[in-house]
Amino acid sequence: MEKTEKLHYIKVVVSACLMVAASVGLCFYCAGVFYQPVAEGLGISIGETSACTTIMLICMALMTICVPYLLRKVKLESILWMGTILAAASVLCISMCFNRFFMYFFCIPMGVGAAMIGMVPATTLINNWFEKRKSWTTSVVLAASAFSAAIFSPMMSAAVTALGWRMGLVIQAVLIFALMGPALYWKVSLHPHTQGKVPYGHEEAVNDHPKTPKAILVSFAAIAIFSAALIGLPMHFSTLATSMGLTTLSGAVALSWCMIGNFVFKLLGGFLSDKLKPVLSSGILDIVALVATVGILISIVMQSAGGLVILAFFFGSVFALNELSLPLLVSNRISRKYYATVYGLLNFVSTLTTALAIMAVGFIYDRTANYIWIYAIAIAEEVIIAGLIWYLIHNEKVDELVTNEKTRSFIARLRANRIKRANARQERAAKRKEQQAQAKAAKPDQEVSNQTPAASSVKPSDNVFKSQMDLIDSEPDFTQDQPSAKSTAVPMPAADFSNEDQAPEAAFDHEPSQEAQKAAESSQPQAAPSDQSVSSPESAAHQSADSKTDAKNKPTQFDFDTDKQLDLQAESILPDSDPGTSELED
């Protein structure tokens, strides 16, 4: 590659750095220097003063949605000119305000101008011009905002102390024009092909970006939201210093060291993104921010400000976590065609969250007069970010954001351990369900066993009595249809030979006896003579045997009723003479 071509790429990088330094570094990062002086000068609270930054960031966030459309329709040079004029003129007008409502009004064009020269056009420019070493170049560009804040924050604080906050704002407006001068002079194009160039490292580029699942985009948005809420805390370092017994200048020094940490950790994050991929680098930055936040909370509780400057330096990693990790994650997952749109939306969410967080921190401090609860909430947010990064690490659909040749074995072990733990949990759950099923099955058996002693307490005699009563009830009642004593005589019922063992076979073979026929004829009104009514000795013997058999098979009450019936029939059949005499005469 020729030197002239390399020089052109350098101009692109420097222009992007100056754009970010003017919009984010001066308009946003240095705003915390003016909170205390403006509040004292206008007689308003810290929360009302920080509302200026909130309004500016809200307008900046809303404008980031429109910037991708402007980049497709308008030249980048024209957009940069409009943004520079709006931002610088608004800051200059704020320096002349004597009422907070006028300050709120001029914060609106200030936010619009900062968005037109801010993160979205700068990162889109780098994404279009670089394909090789994109992570490192992006980290350098975003680190420029921290570098400018680290340099200009003490300068602005000294100017405010010496000349007042109004002159400090005038100096800020002049610096915005000065930083945007080279970018406006070089007239850098948004796309390299308009100047006959190709992206840097085009030969090594890989444009195959698979479709991004919605869960991954939601994770990116959640990381942007929670990390953006943390950015609002350094804006209150001046008030934090005074609450711990230090001067406002000490707070400005802490903010400067925080911006130095911002610069260092953005460069470190870009280096780690090239070596370890964006997800792991974001996890490292989150751990550093978590440790720093815990240290600041301990310092607030103990009222010990000795290590505030060092902790502020490490707390600068939250800027790298939000401003660097988000574009790196998006650029490595979204194609160049949709990068500006997707990143613009995520940047809108992030900037809006930062705006609300800055105002919320100011009002919470006005209510509680300390920062304990504020930093406790910050710790919870960093823990949530760690959980989201852990989810991305174990998601195989984003391997290009997680693993490379150096970290693939480490990530594979982490995922294997996770799968092993998941299988162990499933086995424990299955075993628990099996035990519950066995317990439910054993419960009815236990109830039956509890009822067994009650059943065994019944006496054997009761069972015998019950069985006898059942047998009696099952026998037919032969006394219901019997004729009365005064009714017409009927033939004597035949013997019951239902019991085949006791019934003689002859009873089913011979014809009815003559005596039985005579008895049937004598039952009519025309009674037969006495000689026909006497039964033979054979039939009498046969009837006697049948009666004895029935006596053995029937109950006593039935035998008594049968004898009585026979006597009544005999009286109706035999004449007035003695039956025994008639039989002897025959």
- Regarding whether 422 and 329 lie in a shared domain, the answer is no
Domain stop point among 383, 414, 435? 435
Beta carbons within 8 Å of 379's beta carbon, 6+ residues apart: 290, 293, 294, 297
287 shares its domain with 343: yes
* DSSP per position, 113-157: HHHHTSHHHHHHHHHHHBSSSHHHHHHHHHHHHHHHHHHHHHHHH
Domain check: are 146 and 276 in the same one? yes
3-class secondary structure, 207: coil
The one-digit pLDDT tens for each residue of the chain (586 residues) are 566 677 888 889 999 999 999 998 888 888 878 888 898 888 888 778 888 888 998 898 889 888 988 988 889 899 999 999 999 999 999 999 888 899 999 999 999 999 999 888 998 898 888 877 787 888 888 888 888 887 888 888 888 888 889 999 999 999 999 999 998 998 888 888 887 788 877 664 444 455 666 777 788 778 888 888 888 888 788 788 888 877 777 877 888 788 888 888 888 888 887 777 778 888 888 999 999 999 999 988 888 777 888 999 999 888 888 877 777 777 766 777 777 788 888 888 888 888 788 778 878 888 888 888 899 999 999 999 999 888 887 776 666 666 666 666 666 677 677 777 778 888 888 888 888 888 878 776 666 555 555 444 444 445 544 555 555 555 555 444 444 444 444 455 444 444 444 444 444 444 455 554 555 555 444 444 444 444 444 444 445 555 544 544 444 444 445 555 555 555 555 454 444 444 444 3
412 with 369, same domain: the answer is: no
409, part of any domain? yes
* Same domain for 296 and 250: yes
Residue 468 lies in a domain: no
CB 357 within 8 A of CB 53: no
Q: For residue 151, give its domain range.
A: 3-196+212-404
Both 312 and 418 in one domain: the answer is: no
Cα–Cα separations (whole angstroms), residue 277 to 128, 271, 393, 551: 20, 9, 11, 110
Rounded CA separation 248/245 (Å): 10
Same domain, 357 and 421: no
* Claim to verify: residue 337 and residue 280 sit in the same structural domain: yes
Question: How many domains is the chain built from?
Answer: 3
Per-residue HEC secondary structure of 307-347 comes to CHHHHHHHHCHHHHHHHHHHHHHHHCCCCHHHHHHHHHHHH
CATH of the domain at 192: 1.20.1250.20
Q: Are residues 423 and 329 in the same domain?
A: no
- Residue 455 in any domain: the answer is no
Q: How far is residue 324's CA from residue 135's CA, in Å, rounded to a whole number? A: 9
User: What does each C-alpha distance from 105 to 35, 51, 89, 152, 512 come to in angstroms?
Assistant: 17, 11, 13, 25, 134
Instruction: Quote the crossing angle between the two packed helices 119-129 and 3-20, to the nearest 10°.
Output: 160
- Of 384, 404, 424, the residue at which a domain comes to its end is 404
Provide the β-strand partners of residue 200.
130
Q: Are residues 569 and 541 in the same domain?
A: yes
pLDDT confidence of residue 275: 78
Distance CA 290, CA 406 (A): 26
User: How far apart are the C-alpha atoms of 322 and 483, rounded to whole Å?
Assistant: 114
Residue 11: other Cβ atoms inside 10 A: 16
**Within a domain: residue 507?**
no
255 inside domain: yes
Helix (H) or strand (E) holding 291: helix 278-302
Residue 447 falls within a domain, yes or no? Answer: no
Same-domain pairing of 220 and 272: yes
Domain assignment present for 478: no
Is residue 75 in a domain?
yes
Last residue of a domain, one of 382, 404, 426: 404
pLDDT of residue 114: 93
Q: Does 418 share its domain with 362? A: no
